[in-house]
Amino acid sequence: MKIKDLFKKETYLRITLRYVLFVNILIWLSISIWHNFIFIFNFKDLHGLDKNEEPVSFNFRNWVSADYQLSVEKYLINHNPMSPFFIRLNNQIGYSLFDHLQVSEGVIGKDFYLFDTRYVDTYYGRDYIGEDSLRIYVEKMKFVQDTLEKLNKEFIYVQAPGKASFYPEFLPETNSLRDPERTNYFQLNKLLLEYKINYVDFVPYFLAAKDTSKYPMFTDTGIHWSKYASVYVMDSLNHFIESTRNIDLPDMYIKDVDEGYARFDDADLESVANLLFTISDVRYGYPNYDFEPRDNKKTPFVTLVSDSYLGGLYWGNWFLSFSKESQFWFYNTSMFSMVDSDKIHKYQLDQNAVINKSDIVIVSSNEPNIKGTSWGFIDEMYDYYKYGKHVVNNKERIEFLRTVDSCKATLTDKDIERAKPYMESQHVSLDSAKKILCIWKMNKSIF
């Protein structure tokens, strides 16, 4: 072969390679377009993505501020069929190569245990609100408890543990020093004893069972206590209520326990991270349980004010132990019951009237949420029983509903279609359904 022929061949190969690379780039850039027509792939949606969110309305102000352009860009990215794959790929690279978790409040601990940073901050006392603030909170709680007792009602405070205090040995390395007495949990626990509050503390119970429980009480990739642990919390609370109220609740019975990898909320932090591959191969316990029928049982009307820890018990059918009308107030904002098929905002009902109908009022919080002091619930009940102030008459509620009425006038035809399901689920008119939609549009963080 002559040298000039060799050069010709190399030139041909270079040009061919360029064409191949160019065509490959075009294919990858256009694959999302082709996917819309022939559905090449079937990617699982990203966890936590709200595809119902529409771009902001087009007008001069939104155009000048770039709000319209940014909202359209976000909408197109969220609805790109290839986005889930590339986002998961990016997140997996960050996790596998750089020990980075693409979660705003997530962090990787030792042995790949995942933690919510709020739990870590609580463990080290970084969110400590001080003894004075907690004392005011417990003093009001004591007044509410004593008032309810005079009305033949029972008040119970339930303290849920946090993952960081349960697994401190797996926390990420830090230079922070910890003073256990300067934590919200320590001070609140001391004050609850001092003021003789009727309460159940699951923190020491969980720590005592840490090495003896057949299945883990917390998972390595979740935030909450495990489903296995929540079932036993359910049973323990029922026995506690039976003893304090001298009643017989429907018994809960466990039929068997399945074993499997983390699922449901047991892998909630991993789910939010949106990775390509699962992190843990640990097998957890998933009890199959049921409750006795309510027939011939005197089931109390219970109102539960809690975060997602005892909320998980509600969604796990715990309220089959109580009256059908019992209510769960999620963060004292979203109200749920087994009678209504949809959530209700706190400003859609008379909270004071509900408490007056209740036989038992339960307030619960995990360790990081102690600083929230029951999300205003104790303050509201204190003001009601001490000064006669109804929640339905407070200025915040009145102003909020005034803003909701203004929102109704801005609803699009698509918004109105989204509102219509509320007509059936909450048995209301279209105007009321539009009002409900506006309430939740203004409370996106409570969905």
- Residues 228-265: tens digit of each pLDDT: 999 999 999 999 999 999 999 999 999 999 999 998 88
- Alpha-carbon torsion angle 307, 309, 314, 318, nearest 10: -140
pLDDT tens, 363-415?
999 999 999 999 999 999 999 999 999 998 988 888 888 888 888 888 888 88
Distances (CA, A) of 338 to 301, 348, 357, 380, 443: 12, 17, 16, 25, 22
CA angle 54, 55, 61 (to 5 degrees): 145
Element (H, E) at 30: helix 3-38
Q: In this structure, which amino acid lies at residue 36?
A: N
Residues 17-43 have a mean pLDDT of 66
- Alpha-carbon torsion angle 101, 107, 110, 111, nearest 10: -40
Instruction: Report the alpha-carbon distance of residue 172 to residue 42 in Å, rounded.
Output: 36
Instruction: Report the alpha-carbon distance of residue 445 to residue 266 in Å, rounded.
Output: 21
pLDDT of residue 327: 96
Q: Is 13 left (phi over 0), alpha (psi -120 to 50) or beta?
A: alpha
Closest residue by Cα to residue 322 from 238, 381, 260, 385 = 238
pLDDT tens, 48-91?
666 667 777 777 777 777 777 887 777 777 766 677 777 888 88
Q: Where residue 30 falls among pLDDT bands split at 50, 70, 90?
A: low
Instruction: Report the alpha-carbon distance of residue 145 to residue 154 in Å, rounded.
Output: 7
Q: How is 196-253 classified by DSSP, letter by letter?
A: T--EEEHHHHHHHHTTT-SS-SB-SS-SSBPHHHHHHHHHHHHHHHHHHHT--PPPEE
pLDDT of residue 447: 36
pLDDT of residue 45: 75
pLDDT tens, 405-427?
888 888 888 888 888 888 877 78
Is a pLDDT exceeding 50 seen at residue 445? no
SS3 287: strand
Q: Where residue 43 falls among pLDDT bands split at 50, 70, 90?
A: low
Asked whether 270 and 262 are in contact (CB, 8 A), the reply is yes
pLDDT of residue 35: 55
Give the residue carrying structure tokens 């209740």. 358
pLDDT of residue 23: 78
Instruction: Report the alpha-carbon distance of residue 282 to residue 52 in Å, rounded.
Output: 35
pLDDT of residue 34: 59
Strand partners, 199: 157
pLDDT of residue 233: 96
Structure tokens, 350:
């008379």
Distances (CA, A) of 445 to 51, 329, 437, 441: 15, 15, 14, 9
Instruction: Report the alpha-carbon distance of residue 406 to residue 216 in Å, rounded.
Output: 50
pTM: 0.85
Asked whether 222 and 267 are in contact (CB, 8 A), the reply is yes
Instruction: For the chain, give the percent of residues with pLDDT over 90.
Output: 53
pLDDT of residue 218: 96
Among 46-55, 89-98, 208-217, 288-297, whose mean pLDDT is lowest?
Answer: 46-55
pLDDT of residue 36: 56
Residues 260-280 have a mean pLDDT of 87
For the chain, give every domain's residue range: 1-40, 106-390, 394-447
